[in-house]
Structure 1
Amino acid sequence: MKKNYLICVVMALTILAGCACEKKDNTLTSQEKKEGWKLLFDGETTNGWRGFNSAEIPQAWSATDGTLMSAGEGGDIGGDIITTEKYDNFHLKLDWKLSPEGNSGIMYHVVEAPELKSTYYSGPEYQIIDDIGFPGGVTPYNSTGADYAMTPADTTQKVLYPVGEWNSSEIIFDNGKVSHYLNGKKIVEFTAWTEEWKANVANGKWSKYPAYGKAKTGHIALQDHGSYIWFKNIKIKAL
């Protein structure tokens, strides 16, 4: 009897220990707080975010079931949200999932001005897209994790979970040195503002966007590109 009681106690303690180790969404551990991480989404409200070139949150965006969600009412222009704060050197982490045939992205160093019609006019983009089902297909330059239209994703390192499942992304910007991670694997690395970088801008899509990539500080943006997108566990650390 005593032996069975001890076994039950040990099992109960093991279960409790396992539960204690499970980290809740949209929270920071004590270690993360010590390291300087800050939440950009509290899991319950849209506090800390607003529309691009607007003081209000676009109607499509809401805090729903512990996620920062867009119902996909935006398009190529309009509908994106930005952080109320600006960042220069940073390490950004977040989780996301996308709807079938979906398209979205994460921009940084976003600048606002009347002549800048969208976040991507100034902010480089970490692409999020349905690599398999997007109409028209994708290339390494516009596939998930790519530095959109600038630096392709390394397909040899890429691990992408199917549409509807959660993926984790990271962007590190450290004095011009940039890394993109997808599900723990580095898939993009480049240095901004070098002669090579400037040549890529001048010879590509961004040649028609004079503000692209010029700012060294700016807002983080989440894109509504006409499809459902969900984000959670959005956190940032200044470098």
Structure 2
Amino acid sequence: MTPIAPLALLLLLAPTPSAATPPANPPAAPPKPGAPSAPATPPRSAPKTPAPTAPKPPSPTPVTPPASAPNTLTDAEKRAGWVLLFDGEDACCTFRGYKKDALPDAWKVVDGTIAFVPGGAGGDIVTKEQFKDFEFLCDWKVEKGGNSGIMWHVSEEASYPWETGPEMQILDDSVHVDGRTPMTSAGALYALYPAPEGAVKPAGEWNTARVLIQGTKGTLWLNGVKTAEFDTASDEWKQKIAASKFKSMPLFATKSTGHIALQDHGDPVFFRNIKVRPIQ
């Protein structure tokens, strides 16, 4: 056996060359020139909080049409049949003294109102025309402690209007003694049907009275508040009359047609926007 040289022995023991084992994590191959780059994946973020919604601007306040001038009628009122009883300048055309041909001296036109001014010859005044079924409106104001009234279906057969015509009370409740009881306070059907509290405005301020009469039924309002509702044919009405001072007045509330009266009670009182709507 031929002995093997040491160098040859080393060559025999060396490993046979083979394909190189690829690394576990080979580096990424550079992109080819001109090839599109893969889009980068954006990092995951927390969900967005929606932006607060801006509040809507407030709706504009509706514009209220200006009130018509005092002692005038709107076109709608004219179409509805309203008739003006005072134009702010002349009261003699529509009013006269009770059982008189002319207006008493104490009743004057003052700053667009019919006013009772103490000092001259006075007395109640009535419309020249008579009314059966109707709706009546007016504004009124009194001075401190003032007293007056609105009456309807007034007949001149008696000595005074209140002996025939029911009365809606006009009063400064805060001072006048009649204001201590609802039966004779402002807005009441005087001495028969009490008025609710709080309907009247203070002395010196304008109040609005409304009277609606249809047949034997009637309703009163003061400043939009219903103050009395009645039926002169009802048993309730008859009982109230029997228990009141009117039981001694045989003509009281017996007329179905009559004048509308404004009362002189000795205190200053002012009326404006006096109008009536006859109901056929």
List alignment gaps of at least 5 residues for structure 2: 1-62
User: Aligned-pair RMSD on alpha carbons?
Assistant: 1.8
Find the residue that maps to 1:62 and give its secondary structure.
Answer: strand
Alignment correspondent of 2:129: 85
Alignment correspondent of 1:129: 171
Match of 1:99 among 134, 139, 143: 143
List alignment gaps of at least 5 residues for structure 1: 1-16
1:74, distance to aligned residue in structure 2 (A): 8.3
Alignment correspondent of 2:185: 143
Match of 1:54 among 100, 107, 111: 100
Match of 2:112 among 38, 48, 66: 66
Find the residue that maps to 1:141 and give its secondary structure.
Answer: helix
The separation in 2 between residues aligned to 1:220 and 1:138, in whole angstroms, is: 27
Structure having the higher Rg: 2
1:137, distance to aligned residue in structure 2 (A): 4.7
> As a proportion of its length, which structure holds more helix?
1
Alignment correspondent of 1:172: 212
- Structure showing greater relative contact order (alpha-carbon pairs closer than 8 Å, 6 or more residues apart): 1
- Residue identity opposite 2:167 in structure 1: E
The separation in 2 between residues aligned to 1:29 and 1:83, in whole angstroms, is: 22
| C-alpha contact 2:171 2:179 (8 A) present in aligned 1 | no
Structure 1 residue ranges, 4+ long, deviating more than 2 angstroms after superposition? 72-75, 135-138
Alignment correspondent of 1:219: 259
1:42 aligns with 2:81: no
1:193, distance to aligned residue in structure 2 (A): 2.3
Find the residue that maps to 2:182 and give its secondary structure.
Answer: coil
| C-alpha contact 1:170 1:180 (8 A) present in aligned 2 | yes
Percent of paired sites with the same residue? 42
Alignment correspondent of 1:154: 196
Q: Between Structure 1 and Structure 2, how many residues are aligned?
A: 216
| C-alpha contact 1:70 1:228 (8 A) present in aligned 2 | yes
TM-score (norm. length: structure 1): 0.86
The separation in 2 between residues aligned to 1:107 and 1:79, in whole angstroms, is: 14
The separation in 1 between residues aligned to 2:253 and 2:184, in whole angstroms, is: 17
- Cα 1:182–1:136 change in 2 (3 A) is closer
> As a proportion of its length, which structure holds more strand?
1
